[in-house]
Amino acid sequence: MSGRLAGKVALITGGASGIGAACATRFAAQGARVVVTDVQDGEAVARAADGVFLRHDVTDEAQWTAAVDHAMRAYGRLDIVVNNAGVFTPAPIEDLDLEVWNRVLAVNLTGVMLGCKHGIRAMKANPGGPSGAIVNVSSITGFIGLASSAAYTASKGGVRLLTKSVAVHCARAYGKIRCNSLHPGVIDTPMNQAAFDASGDPDGMRAMFSGLQPLGRMASADEMADCALFLASDEASFVTGTELLADGGWLAAGGPL
């Protein structure tokens, strides 16, 4: 199969729904062999992408080792890791339970760290020499504060700077292993819909967040997958350690959170 990712192997976390599922479909359509991982059932997504599904808790390092090793055994290489798995638990700092803080940081930040660590381990052993692309899914809250969710904001800010550290390390040590972060605005995904539902006024919340973005709507998961596709492809061969903002102009307009 020809395409922008022809011959490449991609591992995508949080791939059962939302941005992760869209990435799996889009990457497969562009020629990649796809390993979909999630704590939820992602079998249907993997089948649609002609890939494989692995049950995978990104906070567990042993499961990261197993997932990456599975990809290497099955396909002989690993070219792309999309660290997409994430959780959103709204709580301002005064109401934030330590258990919630630890859980959000474990999934959203520690999970990304482990994905980078084990992705690099595989990528540096690729046939033909070290090469690969890591895409870490952060958020516009990697730049500005979300008052209603201190833990989520902290985790996504951490992902942004972790990405830069990984990128500089890989550039100096391996040359052709890149790492970038993707920063969506409000995306129409099951995770965000759950937050809208929890507000007690889901229609009002959807309308409010759509209106806050200068483009006047929420983005689709497919649009975020296209952004991730660029960062994962050889078209971005000189792009590393940077942020791709895909927020409908929210930050440019100085919009509130």
Within 49-173, where are the H helices? 61-75, 98-105, 111-123, 150-173
pTM assigned to the model? 0.94
Q: Which domains, and CATH codes, for the chain? A: 9-246 (3.40.50.720)
What single letter denotes the amino acid at residue 168? Answer: V
pLDDT tens digits for 207-240? Answer: 887 887 889 888 999 999 999 999 999 999 999 9
Compute the average pLDDT of residues 17-44: 98
pLDDT at position 172, please? 98
pLDDT tens digits for 181-216? Answer: 999 998 887 777 777 777 788 888 788 878 878 898
pLDDT at position 202, please? 81
**Cross-sheet strand order for the sheet of 80-83:** 52-55, 33-38, 9-13, 80-83, 132-137, 177-184, 243-246
| Alpha carbons 58 and 235: distance in angstroms, whole number | 28
- The closest of 232, 221, 240 to 6, measured between CA atoms, is 232
96: phi > 0 → left, psi -120 to 50 → alpha, else beta; which?
A: beta
Residues 6 or more apart from 130 whose CB is under 8 A from it?
123, 124, 174, 175, 176, 177
Catalytic residue (choose from 64, 75, 88, 152): 152
Confidence of residue 43 (pLDDT cuts 50, 70, 90): very high
pLDDT tens digits for 87-133? Answer: 999 899 999 999 999 999 999 999 999 999 999 999 999 999 999 99
Place of tokens 């229609």: 203
pLDDT of residue 255 exceeding 80: no
| Alpha carbons 232 and 239: distance in angstroms, whole number | 10
Tell me if residue 75 is catalytic. Answer: no
Confidence of residue 4 (pLDDT cuts 50, 70, 90): very high
pLDDT at position 256, please? 61
Classified as helix, coil or strand, 62 is helix
Compute the average pLDDT of residues 229-252: 96
pLDDT tens digits for 133-188? Answer: 999 999 999 999 989 899 999 999 999 999 999 999 999 999 999 999 999 998 88
pLDDT of residue 1 exceeding 60: no
Residues 6 or more apart from 62 whose CB is under 8 A from it?
none
